[in-house]
């Protein structure tokens, strides 16, 4: 990963692998946000199956990393074959940082490690269409095992 500062003040991030990441970010490091699970709540946007016939719904809240989304995408594309179509309804645009191992506290915030998509309970993560119901349910179940959140397959 090599950050590139543009003249407009935005930072363009270039990753060497094919995972999802934003083209430009206004701020390279974000604040961490709320961690108390009792005060997070449920999703209000992206809670219905909009594009396909079947969807994968998150039952809890989590931060899904771009490599986890990519892993689930590979399983999904392998399972549905050439006739099916699928949509990824989340995008990892929130940067997360980490300090190297065995580094003392202080000396500022850690380096940019990658991007996550914050997902609340009730959010549709993937949608599929163009395949029969048993194949769709099995493909979405396999994709859900790659994610750090409990999921449920829902139909339109």
- Per run of 10 residues, the mean pLDDT along the chain (length 156 residues) is 58 62 89 82 93 96 94 94 93 93 93 93 96 95 96 95
Query: 128 near 50, Cβ under 8 Å?
Result: no
Query: What's residue 91's pLDDT?
Result: 94
Query: What's residue 25's pLDDT?
Result: 86
Beta bridge partners of 56: 126, 153
Query: What's residue 50's pLDDT?
Result: 94
Q: For the structural domain made of 41-99+108-155, what CATH number should be given?
A: 3.90.1170.10
Query: What's residue 20's pLDDT?
Result: 85
Start-to-end C-alpha separation, the chain? 39
The residues, ordered by sequence, that sit 6+ positions from 97 with a Cβ below 8 Å of its Cβ are 29, 109, 110, 111, 112, 113
Strands 11-14 and 24-25: antiparallel
* Cα gap 134→137, rounded to integer Å: 5
Other Cβ atoms closer than 10 A to 73: 17
The residues, ordered by sequence, that sit 6+ positions from 83 with a Cβ below 8 Å of its Cβ are 130, 131
* Cα gap 14→66, rounded to integer Å: 14
Query: 69 near 88, Cβ under 8 Å?
Result: yes
Q: Residue 37 has which token pair? A: 């699970």
Where along the chain do its domains lie? Answer: 41-99+108-155
Query: What's residue 99's pLDDT?
Result: 93
Global pTM value: 0.84
């Amino acid at each position: 990963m090599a950050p590139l500062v543009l003249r407009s003040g935005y930072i363009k991030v270039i990753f060497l692998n094919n995972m999802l990441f934003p083209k430009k970010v206004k701020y390279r490091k974000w604040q961490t946000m709320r961690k108390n699970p009792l005060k997070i709540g449920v999703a209000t946007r992206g809670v219905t199956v909009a594009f396909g016939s079947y969807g994968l719904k998150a039952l809890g809240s989590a931060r899904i990393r771009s490599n986890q989304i990519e892993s689930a995408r590979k399983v999904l594309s392998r399972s549905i074959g050439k006739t099916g179509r699928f949509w990824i309804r989340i995008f990892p645009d929130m940067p997360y940082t980490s300090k190297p191992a065995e580094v003392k506290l202080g000396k500022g915030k850690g380096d940019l490690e990658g991007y996550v998509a914050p997902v609340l309970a009730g959010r549709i993560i993937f949608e599929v269409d163009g395949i029969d119901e048993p194949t769709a349910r099995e493909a979405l179940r396999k994709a859900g095992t790659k994610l750090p959140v409990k999921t449920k397959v829902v139909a339109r």
